[in-house]
Amino acid sequence: MIQIIPTQPIDGQKPGTSGLRKKTRVFRQPGYLENFVQSIWDGIGGGQGKVLVLGGDGRFFNTQAVQTILRMAAAAGARRVIVGRDGLLSTPAASHLIRSRGADGGVILSASHNPGGEDGDFGVKYNTANGGPAPESVTEAIYQATTQITQYQTLDSSDLDLSAPGTAHLHQTEIEVVDPVAEYAALMEKLFDFGAIRALFDSGFRLRFDAMHAITGPYAQEILVNRLGAADGSVVNATPLPDFGGGHPDPNPVWAHELMGHMMGDAAPDFGAASDGDGDRNMIVGRGVYVTPSDSLAVIAANAHLVPGYAGGLKGVARSMPTSAALDRVAEALGIACFATPTGWKYFGNLLDAGHATLCGEESAGTGSDHIREKDGLWAVLMWLNILAARRQSVAEVMAAHWQEFGRNYYSRHDYEEVDSDAAHALMEDLRARLDRLEGQTFGALRVAEAEDFSYTDPVDGLVTARQGIVVSFDGGARVVLRLSGTGTAGATLRVYLERYVAGPEGLQQDPQTALREVIDAAEALCALHARLGRTAPDVVT
């Protein structure tokens, strides 16, 4: 029986770049999840007759939230909901299911790389029929619905058994439970030369994939071990846990320090990789060498022709504005377009749908292509494995050859996490007010060539997105980018991106923090980061 529950708006339910993210305890408040889900239905014109995909990364509260959303989808009149077994789906797998099944959209439960558990974070986002994150027009409609809501609809029914694939009915809605891995794995087999990668493993090539107790564990075990022949034990921390084993499922050298220790040790395997909470981010490591996400994107673009799914060439490439210009140099050599967009995967969607770009990536460890409309961590790992199998070189050799050909964009991101929100916003606004006076000024050893508050005009629909981060470029090509992140749930996170280009052939093997010292000093002189934020150093350096 359908129940109509009176309610009222709850402040703060405005979706960010990746849906609505809050502390788990906030989402568990009575009516909080229900208000937002009802607002999704209201914002998309209702759920009547729609086909939806549903699943999440298995973090704490995932199980209960899936059952709540199933009841609400049925009450809204959805024709069918395709849900991953036990309520699990990686974000890339959910995007693929939406596209392959012709669904109207999907609800993905995740806070991505944020910590999980009862005291951690939770998130809900809506993806549209192309499989990608909802554009601003949709998220704004959802937000407006949250400010006007007076009731939500649900069913008075017990939980469904989601433990095995099959079909059931909830009220008049068909609920299809699917294997969360199978269709995604089949897609990967179409894109990559699994035979060549199997031969690589047969030759004695060793891999270590750290799933960080997150959703990618079962995917990596099935594809890397069962289908490609990596040795048993190659996938570690493979069982998804509600609190990610107490860890922070963010694939970077700080949080994936266990993997970094193995890869930098004397007995390191040939290749290391990690993925995040919902499976859309990646980290690539070779024996003794860490590959930045910006460099990884550039290497993939330069070598994509070696991979069957991309042998016909790239239509174009795209990167988020803070991502290094290493990709631009590859695009110029290939004679293809390179787009710089605001941060947030949804901005790539129009480029991919319109055929303007094939590969996209962000410095925050997200890389993907037009095979889906989300970034895809395991896909990036398979791209690297296919490239290594084709080139018959180590990761270090691939990187050295790439830098010799294109030069090196030394790059680092310094994160100041959970800083005082007022102080962070004041710093940014003060800097904005000075932008038109910065050109020609010297900070540290560097002279400002130009400064801007980045604005993006979508080449497909003409939509203008302003105030996306402050870019200060210096003579010689170095730059500093400052941006407030939209993915945290407490305080503010200020990200400072630092970049310097070295053409080579000398100076290509420096420690990045050493190579960037003048840029780091210029950033501090520019806006007194440490004094204004009350910090002596960044919390995370990647």
Q: How far apart are CA 348 and CA 350, in angstroms?
A: 6
According to DSSP, the β-strands at 80-88 and 173-178 are parallel
Which residues, at least 6 apart from 287, have a Cβ–Cβ distance to it below 8 Å?
A: 263, 268, 269, 270, 271, 394, 395, 396
CB atoms within 10 A of CB 176: 15
Q: How far apart are CA 222 and CA 287, in angstroms?
A: 24
Cite the DSSP H helix spans in 487-516.
512-515
CA distances from 88 to 57, 97, 371 (A): 6, 13, 21
198 contacts 225 by C-beta, under 8 angstroms: no
Q: Which residues pair with 451 in a beta bridge?
A: 472
Length, in residues, of the chain: 542
Q: How far apart are CA 339 and CA 327, in angstroms?
A: 10
First-to-final CA distance of the chain: 52
Cite the DSSP H helix spans in 52-181.
62-75, 91-100, 136-146
Cα-Cα-Cα-Cα dihedral sign, residues 19, 20, 23, 26: negative
Amino acid at 449: A
Cite the DSSP H helix spans in 240-374.
257-263, 293-303, 326-334, 346-353
CA atoms within 13 A on the CB side of 158: 3
Show which residues are catalytic: 112
336 contacts 315 by C-beta, under 8 angstroms: yes
